[in-house]
Each structure stands twice: as structure tokens, then as C-alpha cells.
């Protein structure tokens, strides 16, 4: 029986490692589009009126051109890193705020815990996309950084709740009690004894936050509230919808950004799932 458990645990670890490997490889390929792509593609052709309009895929334009006079290959090379940058920036800000609030709420308890928990619960009941649309529509000039900050302002709640729950358990551990008895300050206890134990949870929350941020950003951009002068995957889909690329049969306009987004979400899902196996003791024990 023990041998069988060992075999199942080994298979679970290999499966988790395989998911992580595939996810990282896909993510590196997508990052490579923005880093290596400009060496082979003239990204200046992603600007409007830089090539002939409405050209189907050919040897000169492998993915064709759109109605705005942009080459779609150049748009993908220039737009993929912009979308990734928006998601990573929004995820980092949101998780940083959530982890900080979760640490304070879980460790100190009392009125800080009540205030933070109440605000978190209230924010979780509000549809984030509705607020994001109102904020994005109120901002006159939206760029990638501004869009990331707007999304991050509503993406910290999950990280705060998860970290708080973990800290409530960690603060009762013997090593934390011994640190208090030894005279260690609360600041040192949090950053030396508690924070290292929630790093796997924070990384798993970060991957999930990046995925949610990209999805929210795409939703805002498809509605025409994204950065108008920056090529992103969401804005490419918006322009395709605006110029009726679907009904005109211009598949080369809307299909490439959708395929890239599918690969991006698959990569993030695989990485998040593998990290969840590390951060979640119940999943490890079941395996």
C-alpha cells in the first residue's frame, strides 16, 4: 500500500511538472514573439496607413493587411508583448496589494481585520467588469499602463482573502509563538517567519491574476475603451469587429489574435494548475 502511494505521488509530481513545462514553453514562445519577432518583422508596419489595405495573406504579407492599412504580422509582433505587459503589470500590482492586506488582516486581527474583510467581501459582490467599464470610459486617454492600473484596482480581493486565511493558521504555529516570546517585532515576524510560507500561494495567485487581468483588458478593449493608438490583441479584435471583418470573410484579421489568446490562456492555466499543486496541501495529499 505504501509503495502504491509512493508511485501515485511520483506520477502526480511528474504530471504537475509536465504541465509546468508545457505552460512555460508556450509562454516563452509568446514572449519570443515580442522579443525575437522585431528582428524579422518591421513593426513600423503596425501603424495605420503603412501598407495597402484589405490584402489577403500572401508571400509579401503572410497574415494579410486590415482596413486600416496595418500588416497583421507586424500587429501581432507589436501587440502580443503589449497585452502581456498589461496583464503582468496589473497582476503584480493587484497581488502585491492583496498580499499586503491579507498579511495585515490575518496577523493583527481586530479592527484592521474587520475593515479589510468587510471591504474585500463587498468588492467581491460587485461585478468588476461593470466598474472597469465605467472607469475606463471616464478616463480620456487610456494607455497600456493606465489600463493595467485600472484593472489592478479591482483584482486584489482574491489574493487578500487567500493570504488572510493562510496567515490565520500560520500565526498560531509554534515557531511564530516562539518568535513573539523572543522579542521579535511584528514586522520581522511577518517578513521572516510568515511571508516565506505564503510565497507559493502568492505565485499561484499571481498567475491567476495575470490571466484575469488579460481577460478583463480584452473585454474592455473589444468594447473600444482600450488604448486607441497602441496595437494590442484586444484592440485588433475591436477593429475587426468595427470594420465587419467577420461578415466580409477577412479571417486573417480576427483569427490570429484569437489563436494567440487561446495559447496564452492555456499556458497560464497549465502554470497555475501546477503551482496550485505545490501551494495546496490537499491536492498534494490526494495525489
pLDDT at residue 78 in the model: 92
Distance CA 107, CA 113 (A): 8
Burial 129-167 (b: 16+ CB within 10 A, else e): eeebbebbeeeeebbbeebbbbbbbbbbbbbbbbbbebb
Q: Which residues of the chain have pLDDT under 50?
A: 1-4, 6-12, 14, 283-287
Distance CA 114, CA 88 (A): 30
Is the domain covering 43-51+60-256 a CATH 2.40.420.20 domain?
no
Angle formed by the axes of helices 72-108 and 251-279, to 10°?
30
Q: Quick one: cell of 138?
A: 471616464
Distance CA 151, CA 94 (A): 8
pLDDT at residue 280 in the model: 60
pLDDT at residue 202 in the model: 87
pLDDT tens digits, one per residue of 79-102: 999 999 999 999 999 999 999 999
pLDDT at residue 278 in the model: 65
89 with 145: CB under 8 angstroms?
A: yes
pLDDT at residue 186 in the model: 84
Number of H helices, E strands in the chain: 12, 0
pLDDT at residue 14 in the model: 43
Residue 65: beta bridge partners?
71
Amino acid at each position: 500500500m505504501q509503495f502504491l502511494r509512493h508511485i501515485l505521488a511520483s506520477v502526480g509530481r511528474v504530471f504537475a511538472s509536465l504541465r509546468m513545462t508545457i505552460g512555460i514553453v508556450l509562454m516563452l514562445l509568446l514572449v519570443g514573439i515580442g522579443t525575437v519577432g522585431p528582428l524579422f518583422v518591421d513593426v513600423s508596419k503596425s501603424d495605420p496607413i503603412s501598407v495597402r489595405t484589405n490584402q489577403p495573406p500572401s508571400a509579401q504579407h503572410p497574415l494579410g493587411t486590415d482596413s486600416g492599412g496595418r500588416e497583421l504580422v507586424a500587429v501581432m509582433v507589436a501587440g502580443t508583448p503589449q497585452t502581456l505587459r498589461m496583464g503582468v503589470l496589473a497582476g503584480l500590482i493587484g497581488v502585491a496589494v492583496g498580499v499586503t492586506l491579507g498579511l495585515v488582516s490575518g496577523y493583527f486581527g481586530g479592527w484592521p481585520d474587520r475593515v479589510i474583510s468587510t471591504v474585500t467581501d463587498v468588492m467581491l459582490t460587485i461585478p468588476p467588469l461593470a466598474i472597469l467599464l465605467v472607469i475606463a470610459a471616464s478616463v480620456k486617454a487610456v494607455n497600456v499602463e493606465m489600463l493595467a492600473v485600472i484593472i489592478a484596482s479591482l483584482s486584489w480581493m482574491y489574493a487578500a482573502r487567500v493570504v488572510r486565511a493562510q496567515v490565520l493558521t500560520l500565526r498560531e504555529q509554534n515557531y511564530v509563538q516562539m518568535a513573539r516570546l523572543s522579542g521579535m517585532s511584528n514586522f520581522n515576524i511577518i517578513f521572516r517567519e510568515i511571508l516565506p510560507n505564503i510565497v507559493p500561494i502568492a505565485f499561484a495567485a499571481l498567475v491567476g491574476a495575470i490571466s484575469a487581468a488579460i481577460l478583463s483588458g480584452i473585454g474592455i478593449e473589444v468594447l473600444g475603451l482600450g488604448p486607441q493608438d497602441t496595437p494590442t490583441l484586444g484592440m485588433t479584435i475591436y477593429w475587426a469587429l468595427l470594420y465587419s471583418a467577420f461578415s466580409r470573410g477577412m479571417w486573417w484579421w480576427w483569427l490570429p489574435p484569437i489563436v494567440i489568446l487561446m495559447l496564452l490562456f492555456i499556458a497560464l492555466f497549465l502554470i497555475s494548475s501546477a503551482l496550485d499543486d505545490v501551494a495546496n496541501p490537499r491536492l498534494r495529499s490526494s495525489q
